[in-house]
Amino acid sequence: MLAVCERIGANEIGDVRASSLCTVTQMVASGIGLTLLPSIAADVEGDRRQRIALLPFVGSPPHRTIGLAWRKTSPRGKEFLLLGEHLRLSPRRA
């Protein structure tokens, strides 16, 4: 997420950080900065939505690639392989 923000010249402010979407949205609503917010999270932020501007990405939105990893010695290796195959074959959501 920070890499996307850095593309437009946004930087972190020294000691100001948060990890929960609720806290980050409150910080934005208070004028402390900006963030990327999943649309599903924006829908539950209620009164804060009146104090923040929501702008969709133009063109291709940023994306991330995820992986599934486990210890070679895990007794659940076969289950993890099945889970990975299920995820790989599942329809992707936009």
- Report pLDDT digits (tens) over 41-69: 777 765 666 778 888 888 887 777 888 99
Helices (H), the chain: 2-7, 21-29, 39-42, 77-89
Confidence of residue 71 (pLDDT cuts 50, 70, 90): very high
Torsion from C-alpha of 13, 14, 16, 17, nearest 10 degrees: 90
What single DSSP character describes residue 72? Answer: T
Question: 84 Cβ partners below 8 Å, 6+ apart?
Answer: 68
Compute the average pLDDT of residues 69-79.
95
Give the C-alpha separation, 91 to 38, whole Å: 19
The model's pTM: 0.53
In the predicted structure, residue 70 carries a pLDDT above the cut 80: yes
